[in-house]
Amino acid sequence: MKKSIIWAIIGLLTVAVLGVLWLQMDLIRTSIKVNENKFDKAVYEVLNKVAERLEEEEKRQAAKQYLNGYAARFIQEERISSMGNGGLRMDLSIRTGFQGNAGNLSQHLLDQMAVADTCSCYKCVQDRTEKRDLLTRFFQYRNTDQPLDQRINLEQLQNILQEELGNSGIDIGYEYGVLSRSSNNFVLVNDHYIIDNSGSNNAEYRHIKESGYAVTLFSKDEIPPGMLMIFFPTKATEVWSEILPNLLGTIFFSAIILLCFAYTIFIILRQKKVSEMKNDFINNMTHEFKTPIATISLAADSITSPMVMSHPDKLQRFANIIKQENKRMNSQVEKVLQMAVIDKREFSLKLTDVNLHDVIYNAVENITLQVEKKEGTVNTDLEATQPIIQGDLTHISNIINNLLDNANKYSPEQPEITVSTRNRANGVEVVVADKGIGMTKEARKHIFDKFYRVHTGNLHDVKGFGLGLSYVKAIMTAHKGQVDVKSELGKGSSFILFFPLQVENKQS
């Protein structure tokens, strides 16, 4: 599949996933807004009911005072002495005849005036009208003449508010206050009156004033005296309580979708990369086999030539060429088979005491001839005083040879290779360093991946399958050791191996 098609699919999937998440978040925002509106509506309904009940209660108290004779004295002070005994009898009849809601007593009293005196003469009608006006004035006087804090019973307000909130299903903490319009200060907050209403202590109740929940108290007065306000510290919790399960579910499943999506993209890109590396591997293998096969074919044709068969020395020369090229092919095939065995975890270490210095000397001797052909040098700096470890001699020899071979291959001109050792805690460190082409930071991340090869341009000037370093990594892991690399582009590379003195598990 083309790279452009893969990125197009990833782009479409990204847009689709982000679109689904955006729509889900939009639904959650809408739900939160609906819950907020629902909560606000319920709170205002509660406040309005509380205000109505406070006004109704005030009327009840005013009516009780009327029945106790205060209204009569008020009317007398307003020159209603002409009522005489008839007026008193009227009051008595009203008191004994009322059976309804005390909150509507004021209207009931006014209505009863039309019944108490049925005389239709001009003077009686005028008296009845004057009495209704004066009684109405009494209730207005009773309601508006007193200060706001005296018109509200604190315990009663608290009980009514708590009851109405409970009826509306609002069961969270709250703070409330009554604000005087005349002074713009609170006269009542929560469970106490504000003695000092100069405003100096009202700053601490600013949150109540700015809560946004407020209704007018005693709205039927000519000038309403104050406002009832309420504040909910945990309003957000209440609003989010119904949305929270959906939100958590959305986050959980969205996280699964995103993780699966990211993992899918990772797998696609990795598989594409593996596919490219395998293609490179096949191309490299083809190239590596093509040269020895061609050489063997030419040598075989030469051997069958009558001119060569008559010369034993030439025959021996071509036979050696065939043998060397066959050995080279077998070595390449062995590397591939070896990695297949390692991948399946079907190999076991044949642990013996291995002298790393001896292994290094042998490996250096093998590579020296190739390095000298390029006018290079191989130096050793073996400082380890305890070079003997527990390990598999064959595999350890192979990884040292692989590292030396890479150091030579990736040093284009006059290789300078150094192998050093030193003792570390519970082990030996071996460093194979060169001053070759080095690697980029990105290349260092992948050099131990199977089939990966550092790019050296379009020329096939560095032979190999990309299996050497992955083999080194696998063997070091099997020996419970470590392998690391330090490299800088254009300045060379250093491969650092750490071998523990003992390998606990013989089977890997």
pTM as predicted: 0.46
Q: What is the pLDDT of residues 384-422, one digit of tens each?
A: 999 999 998 888 988 898 888 888 888 878 888 999 999
The alpha-carbon radius of gyration of the chain (Å, integer) is 50
Mean pLDDT computed over 42-64: 85
pLDDT grade for 427, boundaries at 50, 70 and 90: very high
> Is residue 197 in some structural domain?
yes
169: pLDDT strictly greater than 90? no
Q: For residue 472, give every residue at least 6 positions away whose Cβ sits within 8 Å of its Cβ, in sequence order, or none.
A: 399, 402, 403, 448, 483, 495, 497
Q: What is the pLDDT of residues 180-211, one digit of tens each?
A: 888 888 888 888 888 765 555 567 788 888 88
For position 197, what pLDDT does the model report?
56
For position 211, what pLDDT does the model report?
86
Q: Specify which of 13-27, 326-340, 425-439 reaches the highest per-range mean pLDDT.
A: 425-439
Domain that holds residue 309: 244-341
- Of 47 and 254, the structure prediction assigns the larger pLDDT to 47
For position 170, what pLDDT does the model report?
87
> Is residue 124 in some structural domain?
yes
For position 45, what pLDDT does the model report?
93
Instruction: Verify that 177 and 187 share a domain, yes or no.
Output: yes
For position 97, what pLDDT does the model report?
41
Residue finishing a domain among 341, 364, 390:
341
Strands 377-382 and 351-355: unpaired
Q: For residue 224, give every residue at least 6 positions away whose Cβ sits within 8 Å of its Cβ, in sequence order, or none.
A: 181, 216, 217, 218
Euclidean distance between CA atoms 170 and 479, whole angstroms: 68
Euclidean distance between CA atoms 175 and 229, whole angstroms: 8
For position 107, what pLDDT does the model report?
54
> Is residue 206 in some structural domain?
yes
Partners of 392 in beta bridges: 351
Instruction: Verify that 172 and 298 share a domain, yes or no.
Output: no
- Of 132 and 314, the structure prediction assigns the larger pLDDT to 314
Q: What is the pLDDT of residues 251-281, one digit of tens each?
A: 888 888 888 888 888 888 888 777 776 776 6
> Is residue 158 in some structural domain?
yes
Instruction: Verify that 337 and 371 share a domain, yes or no.
Output: no
Euclidean distance between CA atoms 35 and 240, whole angstroms: 8
pLDDT grade for 314, boundaries at 50, 70 and 90: confident
Instruction: Verify that 496 and 353 share a domain, yes or no.
Output: yes
Backbone angles phi and psi of 193, in degrees to 5? -85, 150
Residue finishing a domain among 341, 362, 377:
341
For residues 349, 350, 351, 355, the Cα torsion angle rounded to the nearest 10 degrees is -110
Instruction: Verify that 54 and 7 share a domain, yes or no.
Output: yes
> Is residue 506 in some structural domain?
no
The least confident of 137-146, 251-260, 354-363 is 137-146
Instruction: Verify that 388 and 436 share a domain, yes or no.
Output: yes
For position 358, what pLDDT does the model report?
93
Euclidean distance between CA atoms 160 and 227, whole angstroms: 16
For position 466, what pLDDT does the model report?
58
392: three-class secondary structure by DSSP: strand
pLDDT grade for 356, boundaries at 50, 70 and 90: very high
237: pLDDT strictly greater than 70? yes
> Is residue 184 in some structural domain?
yes
> Is residue 507 in some structural domain?
no
Instruction: Verify that 332 and 421 share a domain, yes or no.
Output: no
For position 102, what pLDDT does the model report?
42
Strands (E), 370-415: 377-382, 388-392
- From residue 393, give the alpha-carbon distance in Å to each of 316, 406, 476: 34, 20, 12
508: pLDDT strictly greater than 50? no
For position 343, what pLDDT does the model report?
61
Strands (E), 213-369: 213-217, 226-231, 351-355
Q: Are 216 and 237 in contact (CB under 8 A)?
A: no
Q: What is the DSSP letter of 347?
A: -
Euclidean distance between CA atoms 203 and 191, whole angstroms: 18
pLDDT grade for 497, boundaries at 50, 70 and 90: very high
Partners of 498 in beta bridges: 429, 482
Please count the structural domains in the chain. 4
Which helix (H) or strand (E) segment is 226 a member of?
strand 226-231
Euclidean distance between CA atoms 410 and 434, whole angstroms: 9
pLDDT grade for 499, boundaries at 50, 70 and 90: very high
CATH number of the domain residue 423 falls in: 3.30.565.10
- C-alpha dihedral sign at 35, 41, 44, 48: negative
CATH number of the domain residue 248 falls in: 1.10.287.130
Q: In what order do the strands lie in the sheet with 427-433?
A: 377-382, 416-424, 427-433, 492-500, 482-488
- Of 459 and 328, the structure prediction assigns the larger pLDDT to 328
Instruction: Verify that 138 and 156 share a domain, yes or no.
Output: no
434: three-class secondary structure by DSSP: coil
Instruction: Verify that 106 and 207 share a domain, yes or no.
Output: no
Amino acid at 152: I
Angle (CA) 5-10-16 rounded to 5° is 125
Residue finishing a domain among 221, 241, 261:
241
Q: Specify which of 87-96, 161-170, 407-416 reaches the highest per-range mean pLDDT.
A: 161-170
Backbone angles phi and psi of 189, in degrees to 5? -140, 125
Percent of the chain with pLDDT over 90: 15
Q: Specify which of 12-21, 87-96, 460-469, 491-500 reaches the highest per-range mean pLDDT.
A: 491-500
- From residue 340, give the alpha-carbon distance in Å to each of 60, 113, 282: 98, 113, 15
**For 184, left (φ over 0), alpha (ψ -120 to 50), or beta?**
left
Euclidean distance between CA atoms 125 and 261, whole angstroms: 90
Strands 377-382 and 416-424: parallel
- Of 143 and 196, the structure prediction assigns the larger pLDDT to 196
Instruction: Verify that 234 and 265 share a domain, yes or no.
Output: no
Instruction: Verify that 175 and 132 share a domain, yes or no.
Output: no
Mean pLDDT computed over 73-101: 44
* Closest to 165 in 3D by CA, of 263, 222, 264, 238: 238
> Is residue 505 in some structural domain?
no
- Of 50 and 449, the structure prediction assigns the larger pLDDT to 50
Instruction: Verify that 396 and 440 share a domain, yes or no.
Output: yes
